[in-house]
Amino acid sequence: MIDRRLFIAGSLGLALPSWAHHGWSSFDQDRPLYLEGRATKVMWRNPHGEVELELPENPTLPADLKQRALPRQSAAVDGPALLAKAQLPTRRDRKWQVELAPLTRLQAWGLEEIKPGTPVAALGFTFTGEKGDPVLRAEYLFVGGKAYGLRSSPA
Residue 127 binned pLDDT confidence (cut-offs 50, 70, 90) = confident
Share of the chain above pLDDT 70, in %: 80
Residue 10: its H or E element: helix 4-20
Of 27, 34, 35, 33, give the one whose Cα is nearest residue 128: 27
94 φ, ψ (degrees, to nearest 5): -90, -25
Q: Are 98 and 35 in contact (CB under 8 A)?
A: yes
Give, as one character, the DSSP assignment of residue 46.
S
Which domains, from first to last, does the chain contain?
23-149 (2.40.50.140)
In this predicted structure, the answer to whether residue 129 has a pLDDT above a threshold of 80 is no
Please compute the mean of the pLDDT values over residues 143-148 and round it to a whole number.
96
Residue 17 binned pLDDT confidence (cut-offs 50, 70, 90) = very low
Give me the half-sphere count of Cα atoms (radius 13 Å) on the Cβ side of residue 104.
2
In this structure, the strands spanning 119-126 and 95-99 are unpaired
Q: Between 16 and 118, whose confidence is greater?
A: 118
Please compute the mean of the pLDDT values over residues 71-92 and round it to a whole number.
95
Mean pLDDT of the residues in the chain: 86
Q: Give me the pLDDT at residue 113, please.
A: 96
Of 135, 127, 61, give the one whose Cα is nearest residue 98: 135
Q: Give me the pLDDT at residue 50, please.
A: 97
Q: Give me the pLDDT at residue 5, please.
A: 45
Share of the chain above pLDDT 90, in %: 75
